[in-house]
Amino acid sequence: MATIKVKFRPSNIAGHEGAIYYQIIHERKPRQLLTDYHVFPSEWDETRSMVVTSPSSSRKPFILSIRERIRWDVERLIKIDKRLDAEGLAYTPEDVIDEFRRYADEYSVFNFIENLIAKFKMNGKTRTSETYAAALNSFKKFRKNEDIMLDSLTSKIMESYEAWHKQRGNSPNTISFYTRILRAAYHRAVEDDIIENRNPFRHVYTGVEKTIKRAIPLLHVKKIKALDLSLEPTLDFARDMFLMSFYLRGMSFIDMAFLKKTDLKHGYIIYRRRKTGQQLTIEWTKEMQNILDKYPDNPTQYLLPIIKSEGINERCAYRNIGYNINHSLKKIAEMVGINIPLTMYVARHSWASAAKYKGIPISVISEGMGHDSEATTQIYLASLDTSLVDKANSLILASL
């Protein structure tokens, strides 16, 4: 087994900070591993081989942070040394240092999640890669771009991350969204035997609170449909896409944007949800065709007039168009006296709410998509006879 010591090297220039380094000795061969940590001589206790600070020092938080990092580094060096020793093969202090540096390159939080994002993209899981990227960017802002090792994540750090979000006014569900992704990445590292599970997420909220229903009654949908927007083409388009989503049994905007012309066959739309991969079949009705007939034929492979140009970043295009539509829907909401934020997602909730109002069984559409887990809703939908849903849809559309 190697001996690992924490050392301090004073600066050659008086009044300047010195450097912390680790001395690794194995079979009488000493080697040094220099760190990025720098403190003044007065902040180093040679007897105890540790950084120290006075209670009144303005550098106390900085020194305590360095002390914690040193502790993590030494733990990691000891763990690496134990593993190399357990393998029963000859190794040198250089091997310990090389393994330590490799670990730092691959298993920091930033690097590990960035590697996961790259794998998701390579495997065609674009949406998953985007959610992981969003969580990583959030955590980077919290850390002020200062990376941290996976095995250095603590409950205290995650509680601070949660508090940081709350100070920014984010809702519990938004905070939980980011935290759950970080937890998923952490558990991947645990499953791959990269780190031991220290359960750093045990004191932070990772659930999903039920949100206020984002549904509007059929009366409001009728009012939106009846608006004369012939002189407001931007609002007219937003209204049409909202209604199209409603007509298509609350189809999500991303699924609408990427519907292909080939998905419409023999009077039915057959497509797979991008979020879950579940295949759905929807009867194509005259209400849907009337909207489609208002617009020139899409020159691309896509059915609806959302993504209308080839050779562009389609995901960026759909997001930008979705943002513009939702912005227009806010104006439409004011016109018809709707006092909740009107978005494309409201169409999804509204169809489910209308289905329930029409007496359609909960097994057909579960409580306006109100399950704690969407997986439960998907179980109901997966075994559903398509004709039953189309009949339900016909009842709703006939009410408009």
Q: How high is the pLDDT of residue 384?
A: 45
The rounded Cα 45 to chain-centroid distance in angstroms is: 44
Read off the pLDDT band of 316 (50, 70, 90): confident
Average pLDDT, the chain: 87
Q: pLDDT-based confidence at 277, cuts 50/70/90?
A: confident
Q: Look at residue 278 and tell me whether its pLDDT is greater than 80.
A: no
In the chain, % helix, strand, coil (3-state, to 5) comes to 55, 10, 35
Other CB atoms within 10 Å distance of the CB of residue 105: 9
258 contacts: CB under 8 Å, gap ≥ 6:
274, 302, 307, 314, 318
- Which of the two residues, 90 and 353, has the higher pLDDT score? 90
pLDDT exceeds 60 at position 224: yes
- If pLDDT is split at 50, 70 and 90, which confidence band does 209 have? low
Q: Extract the tokens encoding 295.
A: 């617009």
Residue with tokens 């519907």: 259
pLDDT of residue 397: 80
What local confidence, expressed as pLDDT, does residue 50 receive?
Answer: 93
Full-model pTM: 0.57
In the numeric block, the tokens 């919290």 are attached to 142
DSSP string, 118-162: HHHHHTT-HHHHHHHHHHHHHHHHHHTT---BGGG--HHHHHHHH
Taking residue 272's Cβ as centre, other Cβ atoms within 10 Å add up to 13
Residue 14: how many other CB atoms lie within 10 Å: 7
Asked if the model's pLDDT at residue 211 lies above 90, the reply is no
Q: What is the DSSP letter of 302?
A: B
Distance CA 65, CA 364 (A): 55
pLDDT category at 337 given cuts 50, 70, 90 is very high
* HSE-CB of 71 using CA atoms within 13 angstroms: 10
Within 10 angstroms of residue 104's Cβ, the number of other Cβ atoms is 14
C-alpha 251/C-alpha 245 separation (Å) is 5
Tell me if residue 272 falls in helix, strand or coil: strand
Coil vs helix vs strand at 108? strand
pLDDT class of 284 with cuts at 50, 70, 90: very high
pLDDT of residue 372: 40
Local confidence band at 215 (pLDDT 50, 70, 90 cut-offs): confident
